[in-house]
Chains A and B, each alone.
Chain A
Amino acid sequence: MTAKAATITSGKGGVGKTTATANLGVALASAGYRVVCIDGDIGLRNLDVVMGLENRIVYDLVDVIEGRCKLRQALIKDKRLADLYLIPAAQTRDKTAVSPQDMVKLVKDLRTDFDWVLIDSPAGIERGFRNAIAPADLVLIITNPEVSAVRDADRIIGLVEAEEKSPPKLIVNRVKPEMVKRGDMLSTVDILDVLAIDLIGVVPEDDAVTVATNQGSPAVLDARSRAGKAFRDIARRMNGEDVPFESLESKDGFFGRISRIVRPGGAS
């Protein structure tokens, strides 16, 4: 097994990086892949609570990097899925405790045992972001249909391209189809127009995500959640499947326009 490493990043905070990482991890593991999620937000640990694993933490990312434990000891096994693991962030340290080279080495050590390494990037464009993208084979940029979030996504696209990574792919999160329909929210087509990158998923606003996060049980596990379905579709696209985009934003024409813009994303 040689894992692919995917980093979920956004520039702006609060757009859904951690939620997306947890959901994609669960979706990939449910589909039979061996997955490890790494919380890259050192000092502001959160992926553990979103995945519902906060009570199982003994060692963290910095313990591994500084040699206080074996890599195996810092891997927290998921409660529900046999092939899903978490490496939590350290809570009492800061981003300078880890270097991009450390992350590259860590991910290299994980590659033989997993199919996917998912890295949850912190907000911002500083050291933590650099650490998170250093080992990435695939960068997923997540944004919301808001001017500020899309502007930050554009900045991230520039930085990822400067690192000579393969072109990042876009997740548009928290879309409210009704608002798009009446012209009061940027549509996915508008966002793609401005950013000129490939789309890998559109996730609708969904109360089930809040409920899921309250319970520490990602929305992907809820078969009725529309956001959960969107994340399952993204996971399939990450593995190179050509999954059609659901017509979230209007009954007429949206799918036609999207399908022309988008090439199937993911593993190559």
Chain B
Amino acid sequence: MNFLDRLRGDRRSATAAKERLQLVLIHDRADFPPGKLEALKDDLIATLSRHVDIDTKRVNISLTQDRHQQRLVADIPLAPPRARRKEIR
């Protein structure tokens, strides 16, 4: 893909193939399918919400792989301060 293609946001199908492949292999290798990850995310949100007010729509949990180490990465944004302050009142 050349510079102009990238500027136009024109993704060639080989790029899509590689990205899809990498994602599917991460899940295959961990024997942890995407559906299970979603269930984990729901449980995690429920548990965390008992302790802190989180922005549930923007919670992101993913499986990543570097070399031989696989890890779960969770990005859990808290609810915006204004919303929280409102609730305190």
Interface residues of A (CB under 8 A from B): 146-147, 150-151, 154-155, 158, 180, 182-187, 190, 193-194
- Closest-by-CB residue of B relative to A154 is B25
Query: How many A-B contacts if CB must be within 8 Å?
Result: 42
B24 touches A190 (CB 8 A): no
> Taking the complex as formed, is B28 at the interface, i.e. its CB lies under 8 A from any CB of chain A?
yes
Describe A's contact surface by its main secondary structure. helix
The CA-CA distance from A150 to B23 in the complex, in Å, is: 13
| A186/B17 in contact, CB under 8 A | yes
**Chain A residues, CB < 8 A from B5:** 183
Interface pair B14/A154, CB less than 8 Å apart: no
Chain B residue nearest in CB terms to A195:
B25
> Shortest Cβ distance from B57 into chain A, in angstroms?
30
Q: Would A185 and B14 count as touching, CB distance under 8 A?
A: yes
Interface status of B85 (Cβ within 8 A of chain A)? no
- Chain B's nearest CB lies how many Å from the CB of A144? 12
Is A151 within 8 A of B21, CB to CB? yes
Instruction: List, in ascending order, chain A residues with CB within 8 A of B25's CB.
Output: 151, 154, 194
- Give complex CA distance A242, B41 in Å: 50
Cα A219 to Cα B17 with chains together (Å): 30
How many whole Å from A14's CB to the nearest CB in chain B? 18
Q: Which residue of A lies closest to B25 (CB)?
A: A154
Which residue from chain B places its CB closest to the CB of A158 in the assembled complex?
B29
CB neighbours of A155 from chain B (8 A)? 28
How distant is B19 from chain A, measured CB to nearest CB, in Å? Answer: 10
Question: Do B13 and A194 touch (CB < 8 A)?
Answer: no
